[in-house]
Amino acid sequence: MKMLINVAETVVADALRGMAAAHPELTVDVENRVIVRRDAPVAGQVGLVSGGGSGHEPLHGGFVGPGMLSAACPGEVFTSPVPDQMVRAAAAVDSGAGVLFIVKNYTGDVLNFDMAAELAEDEGIQVAKVLVNDDVAVTDSLYTAGRRGTGATLFVEKIAGAAAQEGQSLERVEAVARQVNESSRSFGVALSACTTPAKGSPTFDLPSGELELGVGIHGEPGRERRAMMTSREIADFSVNAILEDLSPRNPVLVLVNGMGATPLLELYGFNAEVQRVLTERGVAVARTLVGNYVTSLDMAGASVTLCQVDEELLRLWDAPVRTAGLRWGI
């Protein structure tokens, strides 16, 4: 496989050095693998810390900045960061108002963030945790007990980040984050497998002419494989799978997310079909975001995430944000 890398062993460190050079508004500790807002800690603000394996960019490091995360901890590719990274990040962003850990539901992430929370509290840092588990495709997977955390992570980080930016309390920011997670559901589809730098070949076998319905962001198996479907058929299947589990009474935020190798031309066409299904099902759309935000290296495919919002959540979604991967209003 051809990759724009030096050697597999330095992929994450090389990317962090490049990020530091491109974004002087961030403090990027390459050795300790922590990305922090340069102005952190911000007086009176709750610190938001998230992280996970690399390979899902811009998640999470690309979402560090005003209106979103205070810090992110990148692990090796598809591998959880370690507690020391998380404690270091928490200490860097704690202003005395407490720190919220936003954790995708993967076993390694959950265990390490739990341990980090205990260590941080031993150092006098007040910590709360929110688990993101929005994927409706399967209940358990190779990496997960319960539902996987996927596209809703962006909604949680953005909306909770806006609440923190306003100076809301740790208790309130945590409650907002939980509300967003509970109001969100996702479903993903793979058209091809991804390739990790260490392996150098596809991580799973997906024959030509087939697709994986309900794939995970590490290539975990979904609900079933079928012969290739049209964009219209994939949208019908994906949105209906979400609406079997979520019956929104309020308008929804829509994320049509690329897995890393799907062109925007295709993603926007897919969004047209997603919007058609929502209209047919009587679901009002408040805002739509299309692009590559929660990726899986070079996987071709897409995911759909819906989040039911009330006026307050929508206000926080619309609030200004300035990060490498998401930016508006500033």
> Which pair of structure tokens corresponds to residue 80?
């959880």
Q: What is the pLDDT of residues 160-204, one digit of tens each?
A: 999 999 999 999 999 999 999 999 999 999 999 999 999 999 989
Residue-level pLDDT at 144: 81
To the question of pTM greater than 0.95 for the whole model, the response is yes
- Close Cβ partners of 1 (under 8 Å, ≥ 6 residues apart): 195, 200, 201
Among the residues of 145-293, which ranges form H helices? 152-165, 170-182, 231-243, 264-280
Q: Please say if the pLDDT value at position 299 is more than 80.
A: yes
Quick one: average pLDDT of 222-238? 97
d(CA 103, CA 292): 20
Q: Please provide the size of the chain in residues.
A: 330
Among the residues of the chain, which ranges form H helices? 11-22, 83-93, 107-122, 152-165, 170-182, 231-243, 264-280, 311-318
d(CA 165, CA 157): 12
Quick one: average pLDDT of 28-40? 98
User: Choosing from 76, 152, 218, 293, which is the catalytic residue?
Assistant: 218
DSSP 16: H
Residue 159 CB neighbour total at 10 angstroms: 30
Q: Please say if the pLDDT value at position 137 is more than 80.
A: yes
Q: What is the pLDDT of residues 92-105, one digit of tens each?
A: 999 999 999 999 99
Residue-level pLDDT at 139: 86
User: Choosing from 23, 56, 88, 158, which is the catalytic residue?
Assistant: 56
> Which pair of structure tokens corresponds to residue 76?
């090796």
pLDDT classification of 46: cutoffs 50, 70, 90: very high
| C-alpha dist (Å) from residue 263 to 58, 231, 268 | 16, 13, 9
Estimate the crossing angle of helix 170-182 against helix 311-318, to 10 degrees.
Answer: 100
* β-bridge partners, 135: 186
Residue 275 CB neighbour total at 10 angstroms: 17
Quick one: average pLDDT of 211-226? 95
d(CA 57, CA 248): 29
Estimate the crossing angle of helix 152-165 against helix 311-318, to 10 degrees.
Answer: 80
d(CA 57, CA 291): 12
Q: Establish whether 218 is a catalytic residue.
A: yes
